[in-house]
Structure 1
Amino acid sequence: MGGRDKRKASEKIIRQSPARRRYVSETIYSNYLKRLSIIISITLLILVVAFGIYLRILPLVNSHFYGYPTFLDELDPYSNYYVVKYLLDHGLLSFWDLKPPNPAAEIFWYPWGRDFTKTDVPGIYYTIYFLYLPFSRYIDLMTFMAYMPVIAAAISLIGVYLVSREISGSEIASIIITGLVATFFMDRTVAGFMVKYTIAIMITPWIFYIFIKAFKTNKTLYYMITGLLLAYSAYSTGLFAASYVPIYATLLLAPFVMKREDLRKLLINTVLMSIPVLIVFVSTPIYGYIYVVKNLGLVPIAVIFMLTIYDYVYISYLKKRALLTYVGTLIGVVVVGVILLQTGFLGIAGKAAQALGFYHVLGTLSFTIAEYQPTNMGYVLNIYGSVFVLSIFSVIYNLYLTFYRKDLVAFFISIQGLIMLYVLTNLSYFLSLAVISMALTASSFLGLLVRHSSTMFIKLRRYFSFSSLLAVILLISILLSHVYIVYSYHIPAYRTHLPMIVTSGISVSIPSDAWIQALKWIRNNTDPDSVIVAWWDYGYWISVLGRRASVADGSTINGTQIELLAKFFTATNESDAIKILREDLRLKPNKTYILVYDVFTVNRFGEYIVPLNWADAAKGISAIYRIAGVNIDYDIYGNNTPSYYTVGSGPQRYVKVYRMPDGSIRIAPNWASDYVRNTTLYGIMIDGALHIFKGYTFYSEDPNVGGQPVQPPEFKYLKPAAIFMSYIPIYGNSPNSYFEAYVMVFIYQFVE
């Protein structure tokens, strides 16, 4: 290039340099803002997740503060601990040996044992096993498992953030939603509460995140990843249905919102997504091929079939009438499905059936389990009000987007939100998982509020729309209400929580080592072939921590045996109770121990004992009598319709109804009745309390409010072996107080 050309080029650059400089500076500034927003978002996410972790570790900190070692929380985690410990001791594939006659499986549900391979999903055990192996030299298994729910919660929160951002399109909305979930009290994410439910909470947001990306883009890779995540979920928890059902329901209804050319690819992707899930169903004994034929495993096949006939038959031959015909077919399929469910041809049972509205398929047992009851929606509004209200608005908003804009993401949000709200009304068991679902649903409407609110702050203008003002008011109201709820309920719940074994299972956050002492005594002072008879709730504690066989292991897989237990504990004749031990449960004298417990008030001055009915005594009237076949409702209401005004009109042979001065009603065991005091359950408590406090009188209630003295039954074959007490300061710590409260665990031996 000549000098003249160079000079012209230079002049051109000089002339353009101001514009170029502005362009470059604006680009640099824009990139800077993007990087800054990413840094701020990541920082806020880390802070939110860290706070969620802090809250969930508090129960473990509380336990250590009181001088206790690390324990798992609740009951079921001990079963998981037992199985994983067995895998560590006997090898990776030893899970498939955990069935009778293996002695390791026969300490559950004595004398029959438990086949873990057919009554549980193995995924949770292998998840814990593989995650623990790298740390096995540095930390014991129980401590590692105690922290796993916290880790799972952190993974879940990151998933909540990602899927909320995908749904809302707003960094602010996704951070807020993640913060809401992080501060809610969710028991299955508390340190120590490592169960299959925890796996569901961890994996569900990620399944939704990948599926939404798949549904938006129709990319095969995303569908295949969704299928793998669903397969893992099904292999690890029965709660896989929380993501599985909404996803396949969305695919089934996709013809209403997708174009034909997209539907054909969707059909192929649905097939590819379903393969891993179906493999898990067929290859896992707890499911088996019958699950694919007569249970939820039929869903992928049915959806693929429906999409196939719509694409290759209805559209090809019916053209404009294709969609209407598809609607008719769907209605027909639903009607036939309901009929098959009602007749029992389809094998959907347990919690899944109750979630669909087929109540209490487990029989009387399900009426006695709080989590198997319909959800009190007023409670949900009070405790989870922010996300609950947002999710309702969000469902309505997304239905609008679905019908008027054919928005695929809105379509999925509407379906999964409606399904979870419906399920929640039928079964409170799903409450913790419903919080995740409601939060994800709520993120859509929250994103709308954030976008409208931002117009008041991004642009400083004199006039702004009414919708922007309303959005700001709603957003502030929701956040303030959430802060109030969190500080009045959720944070105190974390702050005062203790592992159940540390409180002996009573509903106060006060340490009590009566159960820990009892289990230690069982482990050290009974023969290895001894059997402990206790209510089914405590089976895992007995078998895992006590290392002795139990007749019911803490699950509900054997309703017949639980009914036998109920009849044993409510038998008013000792001979009838012993007959159940000998003939039905095949238990031997001197090798059999009966364990019951409750909380009692002791008056040192008046030398009397009064039951508080906080544990087994309360379960007696709420559950044990009912399962044994006693009509407790008749005992309370007589032949009248149950209502506030008819409470107490029954014969009250088993219960005693107290109308309090404030108008409330209290129902307690009628300890003074022969129908109660002579039973195995209550008789052992009366006899055991008087065995410890010799010379005292046992009263049905405090004698100052009309309590009657109660005499213990005379036991011939049941004798006290050990009794453990733990003082709890519910009346204060004043040395001048005449009242003392004790948790008492009674262990009686069946002797000749």
Structure 2
Amino acid sequence: MSKAKAVSKARMEPVTRTIPSIPLDVRATQWLAFLSALVPFTLLAYYVRLYPVLIYGWYINEFDPYIRLFMAEQMLKYGTIKGLLWWLHKGYGALFTHFWYPWGANWTTILSPGVSWLGVLAYKVLSHFGFDLLQSVILLPAIANAAVVPAMFYLGYRLGGKYVGILAALWSVFTTMFLQRGTAGWFAAEPIFQFIATLGIAFYIESLVRKDNYWILFAIISAIFNGITTWVWGSYVFLWNFYGLFTIIVLLYLLIRIARRQNLPFTIDKLVITYVLTDLGFSAFVAITPRYGFHTLISGMGGVANAALLFSIIAYALIKLYPRYPRIMVPVVRYFLVAIVVLVAVVIGLSFTSIGGKFLGAIAPLARSAIVQSVAEHSPSTLQQSMYNVSITIPFVIYTILLSIMSLSLPAVLIGLGSLAAAYFASSEVWLFMLLGLFWVPAAAYGFVKLTELVLNRRALIGISLAALFSVILAIALVINIQPALSMSIMPQQIVSTVSPPYPTPDWLDALQWLSYNTPPNATVLSWWDYGYWISIIGNRTSLADNSTVNSTQIALIGRFFMSNPYNYTGVLEDLNKLHDPQYILIFEPYYIYGPVNATNTGLGSSSMCILIPEYPAGGDFAKSYWMASIAGYSSSYIGNTFIEPVKLGSSYIYLPYSNITVVNNTLEGYSAAYNVTLYDLMFNSEVSSASYSVWLTCTMNGIPTYWIFESIPTVIPTTSGSSYTIKLMYQSILSNYAGIPSPLLSSPPPWAQLVYVSRPYGWVIIYKVNYALLEALAHNQTLSTP
């Protein structure tokens, strides 16, 4: 062989380069450095999430966690394991009669056991350190949500290496997607779900990337962790169906390549087996949970998920047969692709007929019921909320998605696709940002690291400059997130501040204690459903409706009662009889005491006055009255024309619920028609304002008259056309004078409602006792006087 030919042959042969391995001591030093950062990140996350306890005390937050505490107490009566078995056996028919009067509720068939059972486990551990059950369940969400930090490091590490992991962990410390319900006291599904689901996704990726035989072990662990999410949060259906969507997309890609007679770029054994095991994990936990049962596997989103499993198994078989019978399989795959499109569409269409409530609302926002729409967390996300959560990390996530398409890396495809799917649902309902964080955080970290590596490989000034620019963007994104995150972490628990913006007050604690000590043990309390858990669990009295909203008919009856005419005694008695004659009525209405102010030119006969501005801060039944009427079955046009139609005078809006507006001495003065709405008349009367300690201290003690002024409600209420408008601020205008108008209908509550309690110090919680004897007499006389 000539020298020239030898040189030419040498050039054609591939050159193999040996990459030197990193010495053990260097690797140990690297891991020590990363762990030295990860431990402080985790401790910082826990400290930030502990703020509510440090500032306000040992209180459970919001409404739903109270039923979780109640059920943890029930499980604890049996023990850790026997308590779980008691739940899985439907509580042996347990019926808790002080909920949903008069029917009661079996919570083992309404709720999932995971949160309460983990609360019992937390107590079993923390009791050795002197914590009781209440303190244990208050600490659990902070501990679990702080544990997301090391879990996210593991997820990021398996996705793209140690730098991706540590960046994802750092972002998890402050992201609002984790913090908004991750602080101490949020003994609810979301903070625990985020920890368990993060590990489930991490183990799923681990099974895909491992090259040894241990991948099957991680697939089984992934199935267990993902399955446990069914016991924690109803949004497990997203994960369950997402894994199916991810597998279907990958398999469709391979089937299309087969139909086009192209080679397959990778094998799919681990992909399909991991998915099958994970689906079985979901199915097993769903089947043994009383809330779901076997029927869930073939209906609703469970039916969609198992239809995806069936498709995956068939597609897997076709792909495995292709190398052996290429000529036969190509036309078979082509027909299968056409058939599967039709079959999947039919299965999804049939399954969607059994989907309801907030799940249907998340998929199709226009299909939301009035009850779902009435809950603020189910409202569509605003641009501000999106910026709070994802900040300016969108370019990094976009790069992750593009890179996953170009590289066909299954972990990157999974995280990128998950970010897109979760972003859609988060834009549909603001509460689902808590779901988006599971994918968005590692996707942003992965995109940043890979993009930085790309530009640094150029080894030029422009590459270094771009890397510095990306670092600045990431730093700004983190800083933007820190401020709202810290604001969330220092917010008081809702039991001490059920308003927006937060305003700490013991009104609710005072009211529930009064209810517990000053009413008969068998007393039944009618209120809007928001406060049902508090009444039943803290107040220890029987409620008619609560936050589970399982009986929409009962809620509609309550809404109809509140929006009825209180002086149609026959109608009131009929409404209360339908609700099985509740003994007490509880109303919550926050307001602001403004004044004393100069009232010389108002024509109200007083040189000074105090003004009570309802819904400032917001969060009471006054603003919720639109939804009460809507859930009761009134149309938007009827509600607008009867209850809350705004009246415009010049550039100002008069709002909720006034009519007959006149101009007196160039000042707006409104005589309200609201006296014929039960809710408004129970709220806005002189007896309520006179019984308020704060009003007495500020105004009554000094001989200053008090007036209700209806303006400046800081909220948005839908119009009849479906758009929205915001209530204007105009403190200088006097719109109504309940206390000064010489009418018994406006100066006092309806005669059948006896005011028995007004909370201290602000008077925001009001309780009436229903005088049925007087109401029946009034109804009888009214019936006789009706021609």
The verdict on a shared fold, with TM-score over 0.5 as the criterion, is: yes
Q: CA–CA distance in 2 between the matches of 1:579 and 1:596? A: 22
Q: Is the 8 A contact 2:529 2:545 kept in 1?
A: yes
Q: Is the 8 A contact 2:422 2:435 kept in 1?
A: no
Q: Does 1:357 align with 2:364?
A: yes
- Give 2:224's aligned amino acid: L
Q: CA–CA distance in 2 between the matches of 1:375 and 1:261? A: 39
Per-residue CA shift, 1:449-470, capped at 9, x if unaligned?
34246558xxxxxx61634532
Match of residue 722 from structure 1: 757
Q: Does 1:398 align with 2:404?
A: yes
Alpha carbons of structure 1 residues 394 and 312: separation in structure 2 relative to 1, 3 Å: closer
Q: Offset at 1:252?
A: 2.2
Per-residue CA shift, 1:40-78, capped at 9, x if unaligned?
1001111211221121111211104xxxxx110111111
- Of residues 700, 723, 729, the one that matches 2:709 is 700
Q: Does 1:656 align with 2:666?
A: no
Q: CA–CA distance in 1 between the matches of 2:94 and 2:218? A: 43
Per-residue CA shift, 1:446-500, capped at 9, x if unaligned?
22134246558xxxxxx6163453233122222123214423x2223323x1111
Q: Is the 8 A contact 2:657 2:672 kept in 1?
A: no
SS of equivalent residue, structure 1 residue 747: strand
After superposition, where does 1:5-404 map in structure 2 within 5 Å? 30-64=23-57, 70-91=58-79, 92=83, 93-95=85-87, 102=94, 105-136=96-127, 138-169=130-161, 171-185=162-176, 186-217=179-210, 219-256=215-252, 262-264=267-269, 266-313=271-318, 315-316=321-322, 318-321=328-331, 324-341=334-351, 344=353, 347-357=354-364, 359-361=366-368, 363-401=369-407
Q: Is the 8 A contact 1:117 1:285 kept in 2?
A: yes
Alpha carbons of structure 1 residues 691 and 500: separation in structure 2 relative to 1, 3 Å: same
Alpha carbons of structure 1 residues 81 and 90: separation in structure 2 relative to 1, 3 Å: same
Match of residue 21 from structure 1: none
- Of residues 544, 565, 569, the one that matches 2:558 is 565
Alpha carbons of structure 1 residues 102 and 59: separation in structure 2 relative to 1, 3 Å: same
- Give 1:493's aligned amino acid: M
- Give 2:757's aligned amino acid: A
- Of residues 460, 479, 493, the one that matches 1:499 is 493
Match of residue 585 from structure 1: 579
Q: Is the 8 A contact 1:353 1:359 kept in 2?
A: no
Question: Which range is displaced more, 219-228 or 383-392?
Answer: 383-392
Q: CA–CA distance in 2 between the matches of 1:387 and 1:340? A: 38
Match of residue 712 from structure 1: 747
Alpha carbons of structure 1 residues 101 and 716: separation in structure 2 relative to 1, 3 Å: farther
Q: CA–CA distance in 1 between the matches of 2:482 and 2:74? A: 40
Q: Offset at 1:336?
A: 1.6
- Give 1:656's aligned amino acid: P
Q: CA–CA distance in 1 between the matches of 2:330 and 2:93? A: 63
Q: CA–CA distance in 1 between the matches of 2:428 and 2:126? A: 41
Alpha carbons of structure 1 residues 269 and 689: separation in structure 2 relative to 1, 3 Å: closer
Q: CA–CA distance in 2 between the matches of 1:537 and 1:429? A: 17
Q: Is the 8 A contact 2:63 2:530 kept in 1?
A: yes
After superposition, where does 1:576-655 map in structure 2 within 5 Å? 578-580=572-574, 582-588=576-582, 591-601=583-593, 603-604=595-596, 606-613=608-615, 614-632=618-636, 651=641, 653-655=643-645
Q: Is the 8 A contact 1:188 1:197 kept in 2?
A: yes
Question: Which range is displaced more, 232-241 or 389-398?
Answer: 389-398
Match of residue 769 from structure 2: 749
- Give 1:745's aligned amino acid: V
Q: CA–CA distance in 2 between the matches of 1:56 and 1:660? A: 48
Question: Which range is displaced more, 422-431 or 699-708?
Answer: 699-708
Coordinate RMSD, CA, aligned: 3.0
- Give 2:417's aligned amino acid: I
Match of residue 680 from structure 1: 678
Q: Is the 8 A contact 1:621 1:632 kept in 2?
A: no
Q: Does 1:508 align with 2:515?
A: no
Match of residue 442 from structure 1: 444
SS of equivalent residue, structure 1 residue 78: helix
Q: Is the 8 A contact 2:248 2:308 kept in 1?
A: yes
Alpha carbons of structure 1 residues 686 and 555: separation in structure 2 relative to 1, 3 Å: same
Identity %: 19
Alpha carbons of structure 1 residues 471 and 320: separation in structure 2 relative to 1, 3 Å: farther
Q: CA–CA distance in 2 between the matches of 1:287 and 1:707? A: 52
Q: Is the 8 A contact 1:108 1:553 kept in 2?
A: yes
Q: CA–CA distance in 2 between the matches of 1:481 and 1:621? A: 39
Q: Offset at 1:369?
A: 1.6
SS of equivalent residue, structure 1 residue 297: helix
Give the TM-score normalised by the residue count of structure 1: 0.82
Q: Is the 8 A contact 1:187 1:193 kept in 2?
A: no
Q: Offset at 1:528?
A: 0.6
Q: CA–CA distance in 1 between the matches of 2:60 and 2:34? A: 34
Alpha carbons of structure 1 residues 101 and 321: separation in structure 2 relative to 1, 3 Å: closer
Give the TM-score normalised by the residue count of structure 2: 0.78
SS of equivalent residue, structure 2 residue 587: strand
Q: CA–CA distance in 2 between the matches of 1:449 and 1:267? A: 30
Tell me, which stretches of 5 or more residues in structure 1 are unaligned?
1-25, 65-69, 457-462, 637-650, 727-741
Alpha carbons of structure 1 residues 610 and 471: separation in structure 2 relative to 1, 3 Å: same
SS of equivalent residue, structure 1 residue 552: coil
Q: CA–CA distance in 1 between the matches of 2:23 and 2:250? A: 39
Alpha carbons of structure 1 residues 257 and 95: separation in structure 2 relative to 1, 3 Å: same
Match of residue 18 from structure 1: none
Tell me, which stretches of 5 or more residues in structure 2 are unaligned?
1-19, 255-263, 598-607, 660-669, 712-730, 739-745, 774-787
Alpha carbons of structure 1 residues 167 and 323: separation in structure 2 relative to 1, 3 Å: farther
Q: CA–CA distance in 1 between the matches of 2:487 and 2:494? A: 17
- Give 1:328's aligned amino acid: V
- Of residues 415, 420, 423, the one that matches 2:422 is 420
Q: CA–CA distance in 2 between the matches of 1:660 and 1:94? A: 65
SS of equivalent residue, structure 1 residue 705: coil
Q: CA–CA distance in 2 between the matches of 1:443 and 1:498? A: 32
Alpha carbons of structure 1 residues 686 and 341: separation in structure 2 relative to 1, 3 Å: same
Q: CA–CA distance in 1 between the matches of 2:68 and 2:474? A: 39
SS of equivalent residue, structure 1 residue 75: coil
Per-residue CA shift, 1:210-259, capped at 9, x if unaligned?
11111234832222111111211112221212322221222223325665
